[in-house]
């Protein structure tokens, strides 16, 4: 059952990415949706999950401090290591953009791996818990596929390169779920990982996707798509936890 659901996450992620590739001429609208979806994943899924899992091991202030550390760590990677703001020559600027896209797509792919991990661990608890987690993962993995492709395309990556990262992201939850057949991850460790990635995605959404979607197309519709992206993730996660 776990592997079957994991394969369904592959299909969901892949479908979202193909949608982004097909309508890349409307990239500003898809970026707007992606911004809301990424921020929604952070606030409505990852952060609550990390608080819930870590409540027996850490204080609330500790969990939120870890989230802040994730945000600041990603800022350091973006601003210092990849020198996004200091690339002066065209070639250097383009390389910095591509590296930034790879960093974002890699983070989303690792998050997808954790999604698969979460499915497997949830089914270790019970079939009911596993089903709830699986529904949530299936829904927002569709957005993960969109977000992965968008992070590559908007950072000057080619469609073929974006497609390769889409394959990586789609395979990640399958591998994550399969891995749980061989080990168990303590809840306190998973809580820290989820909290860190909440910070990562807050930064990606607020400092990367939102400004980029608004930059060339400062229109009401783009802003509306951001709100729709957040609302879709909020509704999906709430429905999955009923």
- Number of domains within the chain: 1
Cα separation of 161 and 36, whole Å?
24
DSSP letter for 58, please: S
The string of pLDDT tens digits covering residues 210-228 is 766 665 556 788 888 889 9
Cα separation of 95 and 140, whole Å?
30
Query: What pLDDT score was predicted for residue 91?
Result: 45
- For the cut 80, the answer to whether the pLDDT of residue 155 exceeds it is no
Q: What is the mean pLDDT of residues 168-186?
A: 84
**Please, are residues 117 and 177 in contact by the beta-carbon 8 Å criterion?**
yes
Between 46 and 150, whose confidence is greater?
46
Query: What pLDDT score was predicted for residue 83?
Result: 46
Question: What DSSP element (H or E) covers 49?
Answer: helix 47-54
Between 228 and 190, whose confidence is greater?
228
Query: What pLDDT score was predicted for residue 196?
Result: 87
Residue 217, classed as helix, strand or coil, is coil
Q: 22: buried, middle or exposed (CB in 10 Å: 19+, 13-18, 0-12)?
A: exposed
Cα separation of 205 and 228, whole Å?
14
CA angle 154, 156, 161 (to 5 degrees): 95
The band of 72, judged by pLDDT with boundaries at 50, 70 and 90, is very high
The sign of the dihedral angle between the CA atoms of 19, 21, 25, 31 is positive
Of 80-94, 121-135, 148-162, the one with minimum mean pLDDT is 80-94
Question: Is the pTM higher than 0.85?
Answer: no
Mean pLDDT rounded to a whole number for the chain: 76
Q: What is the mean pLDDT of residues 181-209?
A: 80
The band of 87, judged by pLDDT with boundaries at 50, 70 and 90, is very low
Percentage above 90 pLDDT, the chain: 7
Give the range of the structural domain holding residue 156, as residue numbers without chain letter: 2-240
Q: 169: buried, middle or exposed (CB in 10 Å: 19+, 13-18, 0-12)?
A: buried
- For the cut 60, the answer to whether the pLDDT of residue 181 exceeds it is yes
- Cα separation values, 77 from 36, 80, 96, 120, Å: 22, 6, 11, 31
Query: What pLDDT score was predicted for residue 84?
Result: 45
Query: What pLDDT score was predicted for residue 66?
Result: 95
């Amino acid at each position: 059952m776990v592997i079957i659901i994991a394969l369904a996450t592959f299909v969901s992620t892949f479908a979202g990415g193909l949608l982004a590739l097909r309508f890349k001429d409307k990239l500003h609208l898809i970026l707007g949706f992606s911004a809301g979806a990424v921020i929604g994943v952070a606030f409505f899924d990852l952060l609550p999950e990390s608080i819930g899992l870590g409540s027996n091991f850490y204080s609330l202030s500790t969990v939120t401090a870890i989230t802040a550390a994730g945000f600041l760590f990603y800022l350091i990677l973006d601003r210092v290591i990849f020198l996004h703001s200091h690339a002066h020559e065209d070639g250097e600027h383009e390389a910095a953009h591509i590296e930034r896209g790879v960093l974002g797509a890699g983070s989303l792919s690792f998050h997808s791996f954790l999604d698969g991990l979460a499915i497997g661990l949830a089914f270790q608890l019970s079939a009911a818990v596993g089903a709830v987690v699986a529904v949530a993962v299936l829904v927002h993995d569709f957005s993960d596929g969109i977000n992965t492709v968008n992070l590559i395309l908007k950072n000057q990556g080619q469609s073929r390169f974006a497609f390769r990262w889409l394959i990586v992201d789609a395979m990640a939850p399958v591998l994550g779920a399969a891995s749980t057949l061989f080990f168990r991850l303590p809840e306190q460790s998973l809580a820290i990982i989820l909290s860190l990635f909440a910070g990562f995605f807050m930064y990606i959404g607020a400092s990367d996707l939102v400004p980029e979607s608004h930059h060339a197309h400062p229109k009401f519709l783009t802003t509306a798509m951001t709100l729709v992206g957040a609302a879709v993730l909020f509704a999906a996660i709430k429905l999955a936890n009923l």
